[in-house]
């Protein structure tokens, strides 16, 4: 993982010190915010942060990011923060190296869990879990903590869709101990990543590992128990775990072993729940801030769902919320909840910046910077504007300039799941409630491996049937002239399954 780029140097923040390097220029509780600030200040396509012996190289321009997304020349690499998660998630899909046998095997075996048919079977689970969230809100007084409740919802939905298992998320305010244990492991993974190369770091890493061991044991035991219980039952492919336990590779007949299945379950829970809850929370933040955007969103849900606030969109209706899809896309532009990914070359290569990159060198594509590159997004890149994703505005945009789902064969396998869930949630929530944020709230972001708004609250007021535009025709998704969902992310890797293909 040592990343010295053969001694080449890059732009870096001023005030570098011997030994610690640029460490002082990074706020340890908000490393992403620090990097995005450096990217803006330095204004370079590529820059570095040296922390002790470790060089972190970041790609901040859309053009260079596009170069690194070329699958012929580059592959995914695991930066230290992701590599540290292997302690926890082993060779699960997200933390596997592309050359590992288990990555290809799991990729081939688990894709069927994300086809349109599979997605259709998750729809009732998504609807039912959301009903429980609404019931939970109705028991609460006062404003809701958006990230907390979206996290409850997305974890619960995933646990049910993947494991047919209930985490009792709506029984109290505190999250399930499993979530607390997972978050502790994610946080310690990040700390381990920074400490590994620090003087005396090995000792600190050992101490952190010792402290988090009990959390890891708890999570492992819980999952092993779930797997063993299911193995004792007749085989069924009704959920992700069922597919993992029964699927055989069509050519080799190979199956995933139980340890790998545990790693995969953990991977899906970790990779899938907070990313989606963050995306929903940022979307709700921007909706609550802009009365015009909110009015358009309300108009769309009212047009499609009519005056009864209990109406549930059908599976087929979800892709018709085209304005909501643009809201989601724009929220993920400004705050991609998986904010970066690592890339390295297959062979030694020279970048367009003139830097030579060898197979052992890596760089992190810093998505919030790439998604604000004025060369692509204009001088008002900070402004939230869902209509950037109208087809006429997306046409001709630099390929790979919008990458919240990652890139190439290692891009997000759960993308359709997340989009289906997020749009369903936004549609039903906005159809049922007026949302009001605190006008004094300033966006603050909690940073782990993923990002979510911190301390963001919303007051929900039930909408009455009368207030749901009674005079608008139902099923009028084109009322604002917006585009089908398939056109909203023109540069993402082509997929023949799920939401996009359906639209």
Taking contact as CB under 6 A, which single stretch among the options 199-207, 230-238, 266-274, 384-392 is the one that binds ligand HEM?
A: 266-274
Site for ligand HEM contains 417 (CB under 6 A): yes
Residue placing its CB nearer to ligand HEM in the complex, 189 or 414: 414
Q: Give least dist CB 361 to ligand HEM, A.
A: 17
Pick out residues in 102-131 that bind ligand HEM (CB under 6 A).
Answer: 107
Taking contact as CB under 6 A, which single stretch among the options 209-217, 273-281, 391-399, 469-477 is the one that binds ligand HEM?
A: 273-281
Residue choice 212, 275, 401, 488 for contact with ligand HEM (CB under 6 A): 275
CA of 40: how far to CAs of 12, 16, 44, 104, in Å?
12, 18, 8, 38
Within 250-307, residue ranges assigned H as helices are 258-289, 291-305
CA angle 138, 424, 413 (to 5 degrees): 125
Site for ligand HEM contains 404 (CB under 6 A): yes
Q: Give least dist CB 86 to ligand HEM, A.
A: 13
Q: Give least dist CB 272 to ligand HEM, A.
A: 3
Site for ligand HEM contains 459 (CB under 6 A): no
Q: Do 176 and 155 form a contact (C-beta atoms < 8 A)? A: yes
Estimate the crossing angle of helix 291-305 against helix 415-432, to 10 degrees: 90
Q: Which of 88, 85, 93, 90 is nearest to 114 (CA)?
A: 93
Q: Give least dist CB 437 to ligand HEM, A.
A: 21
Terminal Cα-to-Cα distance of the chain (whole angstroms): 42
Q: Do 161 and 240 form a contact (C-beta atoms < 8 A)? A: yes
Site for ligand HEM contains 337 (CB under 6 A): yes
Site for ligand HEM contains 323 (CB under 6 A): no
Site for ligand HEM contains 410 (CB under 6 A): yes
Helix (H, G, I), strand (E, B) or coil at 474: coil
Other CB atoms within 10 Å distance of the CB of residue 273: 25
Q: Do 366 and 340 form a contact (C-beta atoms < 8 A)? A: yes
Site for ligand HEM contains 262 (CB under 6 A): no
Binding residues for ligand HEM, rule CB under 6 A, total: 26
Place of tokens 């890891």: 216
Site for ligand HEM contains 268 (CB under 6 A): yes
Site for ligand HEM contains 413 (CB under 6 A): yes
Residue choice 54, 61, 151, 267 for contact with ligand HEM (CB under 6 A): 267
Site for ligand HEM contains 433 (CB under 6 A): no
State how far the Cα of 458 lies from the Cα of 456, in Å rounded to an integer.
7
State which residue has the least CB distance to ligand HEM. Answer: 414
Residue placing its CB nearer to ligand HEM in the complex, 247 or 279: 279
Q: What is the 3-state secondary structure (H, E, C) of 378-412?
A: CCCCCCCCHHHHCHHHHCCCCCCCCCCCCCHHHCC
Site for ligand HEM contains 93 (CB under 6 A): yes
Other CB atoms within 10 Å distance of the CB of residue 248: 11
Residue choice 5, 94, 285, 377 for contact with ligand HEM (CB under 6 A): 94
Q: Do 286 and 458 form a contact (C-beta atoms < 8 A)? A: no
Taking contact as CB under 6 A, which single stretch among the options 35-43, 48-56, 193-201, 408-416 is the one that binds ligand HEM?
A: 408-416
Q: Which of 233, 258, 249, 265 is nearest to 161 (CA)?
A: 265
Site for ligand HEM contains 338 (CB under 6 A): yes
Residue choice 74, 321, 405, 456 for contact with ligand HEM (CB under 6 A): 405
- Binding residues for ligand HEM, rule: CB under 6 A, are 76, 93-94, 107, 158, 267-268, 271-272, 275-276, 279, 332, 337-338, 341, 404-406, 410-414, 417-418
């Amino acid at each position: 993982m040592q990343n010295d780029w053969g001694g080449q140097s890059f732009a870096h923040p001023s005030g570098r010190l011997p030994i610690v390097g640029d460490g002082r220029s990074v706020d340890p509780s908000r490393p992403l915010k620090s990097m995005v600030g450096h990217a803006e200040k330095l204004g370079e396509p590529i820059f570095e942060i040296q922390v002790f012996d470790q060089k972190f190289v970041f790609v901040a321009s859309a053009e260079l990011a596009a170069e690194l997304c070329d699958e012929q020349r580059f592959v995914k690499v695991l930066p230290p923060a992701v590599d540290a998660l292997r302690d926890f998630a082993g060779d699960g899909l997200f933390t596997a190296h592309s050359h590992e046998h288990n990555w290809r095997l799991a990729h081939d075996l688990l894709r069927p869990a994300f086809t349109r048919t599979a997605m259709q079977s998750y729809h009732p689970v998504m609807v039912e879990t959301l009903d429980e969230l609404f019931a939970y809100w109705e028991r609460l007084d006062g404003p809701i903590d958006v990230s907390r409740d979206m996290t409850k919802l997305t974890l619960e939905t995933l646990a049910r869709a993947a494991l047919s298992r209930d985490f009792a998320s709506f029984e109290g305010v505190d999250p399930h101990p499993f979530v607390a244990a997972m978050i502790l492991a994610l946080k310690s993974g990040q700390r381990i990543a920074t400490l590994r190369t620090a003087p005396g770091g090995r000792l600190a890493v050992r101490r952190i590992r010792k402290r988090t061991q009990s959390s890891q044991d708890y999570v492992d035991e819980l999952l092993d128990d779930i797997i063993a219980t299911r193995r004792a039952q007749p085989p069924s492919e009704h959920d992700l775990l069922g597919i993992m336990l029964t699927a055989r590779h069509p050519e080799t007949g190979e199956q995933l072993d139980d340890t790998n299945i545990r790693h995969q379950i953990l991977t899906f829970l970790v990779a899938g729940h907070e990313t989606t809850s963050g995306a929903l929370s940022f979307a709700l933040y921007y909706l609550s801030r802009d009365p015009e955007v909110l009015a358009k969103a309300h108009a769309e849900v009212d047009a499609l769902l009519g005056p009864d606030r209990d109406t549930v969109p059908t599976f087929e209706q979800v892709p018709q919320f085209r304005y909501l899809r643009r809201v989601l896309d724009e929220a993920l532009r400004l705050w991609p909840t998986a904010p970066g990914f690592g890339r390295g070359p297959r062979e030694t290569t020279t970048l367009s910046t003139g830097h030579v990159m060898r197979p052992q060198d890596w760089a992190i594509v810093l998505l919030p910077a790439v998604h604000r590159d004025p060369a692509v997004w204009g001088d008002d890149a900070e402004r939230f504007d869902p209509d950037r994703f109208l087809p006429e505005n997306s046409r001709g945009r630099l390929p790979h300039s919008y990458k919240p789902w990652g890139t190439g064969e290692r891009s997000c396998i759960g993308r359709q799941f997340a989009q289906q869930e997020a749009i369903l949630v936004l549609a039903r929530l906005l159809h049922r409630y007026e949302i009001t944020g605190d006008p004094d709230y300033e966006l603050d972001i909690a940073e782990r491996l993923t990002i979510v708004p911190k301390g963001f609250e919303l007051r929900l007021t039930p909408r009455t049937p009368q207030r749901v535009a009674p005079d608008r025709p139902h099923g009028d998704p084109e009322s604002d002239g917006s585009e089908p969902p398939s056109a909203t992310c023109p540069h993402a890797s082509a997929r023949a399954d799920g939401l996009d293909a359906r639209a």
